[in-house]
Amino acid sequence: MKEFILKRLLALIPILFIVSLVVFLIIHMTPGDPAHVILGETATEEQIENLRQQLGLNKPIYEQYFSWIGGVITGDLGYSYFMKMSVSSALLEHLGPTVSLSLLAELIAIFIGIPLGILAAKHKGSVLDQSFMGFSLMGISIPSFLLGLLLILFFGVQLKLLPVAGYVPLNENIGSHLKYLILPAFSLGIMQAALIARMTRSSMLDVLNTNYVKTALSKGVKQRNIVLKHALRNAFLPILTVIGQTFGVLITGAAVIETVFNIPGIGQLIINSIERRDFSTIQGAILFMTLAYVMINLIIDLLYGVIDPRVRLSHK
């Protein structure tokens, strides 16, 4: 187990190195100039050139890369001229909203997706099954930003039940925190719920047709116990994979929803940084996202073992 974790962590090094190089090159080859953004559209060429010189943007690209990557190795992701803070602090500041939103969206997805999937599988071919799967197809098809705008219109503008945009940190007021996150979390969660529901249904169907389930049925075990204890646990591996993947997508920044609901998370940070050509923040954020994605996958792999003893890694 330890060896497995160590191996996976070591594999991170080349991944991060390649990502850093690719991101750095792409960003620096993209036209657009942070000095020009700081000084504004109508700045003169002389002003822009002076600032470029002072910020070190005129140095050769390899020199800029090595000076940045040298910092990264020692834990310094760089400094954002726009935010006037280190990239690590900027990432930490923007991580809270994204983690909150992702967790809430994932919880919504799990609590809607899994029961719907189980019910659909149990009543395969029935009207219930058809309508649930119709709902899930709709959930997958509707773009999250459209759903977000519709939710804003209905719950925010018409009913005035929930705020339309903004964010209150958890440590300030948990009630307001949740109030601001409900609509965006639903906008994101519905799509993930649809994915989870479909996966749960098909995975459960496979398991419900196996011999041990039939044996349990013939032994007179309660159907509820069969479904929840025997079948669901065995059907859970593929579901967990989907949950892991969806969480990975959410945590690395639900950029569109964060923009629509004005949530200052990682996704919005990246979009804003690209718009203002905040090189060091874009680089730092993408490295961080890579790290987060790989770590989530690692955790999911470890959870396989918790759920299914057959894949426990220590037995390998």
Partner 1 sequence: MFRKSKVVLIFITIIMIILAGCSSGTNTSTEGTQNSEGDASGSTSIAEKFNMAMGAQPPSLDPHISTAIATRDIAMQVFETLVTIDKDYKPVPMLAESIDVSEDGKTYTFNLRQGIKFHNGKEMTSEDVVASMNRFVEKSGATKVLLDGAVFKADGDYKVILDVPNPSTLIMTSLAARSPMPAIMPKEVIESAPAEGINEYIGTGPLKFVEWKQDQYIKLTKNDDYQPLETESNGQAGKKEVFIKDFYIHFVPDTSTQVAGLQTGEYDLLLEAPNDNYELLANDPSLGTSINDYGPYNLIFNKHKGIFTNADMRKAINAGINSEEILRTSFMHEDIYELDPSYMSPQSADWYSDAGKEYYNQNDPEKAKEWLEKAGYNGEPIKIVTTRDYAHIYNTGVVLQQQLEKIGVKVSLEIYDWPTALNIRNKEPDKWDIFITGTPFVLTPLELYVYTIEAYMDPNNQKVTELLNSIKNAQTEDEAKQKWEELQAYTWEYLPVAKMGNFFKVSAFKDYVKDYKYQEGPILWNIKLTK
Q: Pick the closest to residue 291 from 266, 269, 314 (CA basis).
A: 266
Indicate whether 276 belongs to the interface with partner 1 (CB under 8 A): yes
Cα dihedral value 75, 80, 81, 86, nearest 10: -50
Amino acid at 225: N
Among 65, 76, 128, 169, which residue sits at the site for partner 1 (rule: CB under 8 A)? Answer: 169
Chain positions 89 to 108 lying near partner 1, rule: CB under 8 A, are: 89-90, 92-97, 99-100, 103
Closer residue to partner 1 in complex, CB, 214/229: 229
Query: Is 45 one of the binding residues for partner 1 (CB under 8 A)?
Result: yes
- Whether the CB-CB separation of 194 and 135 falls below 8 Å is answered with yes
CB of 14 to partner 1, least distance (A): 27
- In the chain, count of helices (H) and strands (E)? 14, 2
Instruction: Determine the straight-line distance between the first and last CA of the chain, rounded to whole angstroms.
Output: 9
**Residues touching partner 1, count (CB under 8 A):** 70
Contact flag: residue 46 with partner 1 (CB under 8 A): yes
The answer to whether 307 contacts partner 1 (rule: CB under 8 A) is yes
Residue from 237, 259, 304, 313 that binds partner 1 (CB under 8 A)?
Answer: 259
* CA dihedral (213, 219, 222, 223) positive or negative: positive
* Nearest to 110, CA basis, from 250, 226, 210, 296: 250
Shortest spacing between CB 210 and partner 1, in angstroms: 19
Is 33 among the residues that bind partner 1 (CB under 8 A)?
A: yes
Interaction of residue 38 with partner 1, rule CB under 8 A: yes
**Gap between the Cα atoms of 101 and 118, Å rounded:** 26
Interface with partner 1 (CB under 8 A) = 30-33, 36-48, 51, 54-55, 81-85, 89-90, 92-97, 99-100, 103, 149, 152-153, 156-157, 160, 163-173, 176, 229, 233, 259-262, 264, 268-269, 271-272, 275-277, 306-307
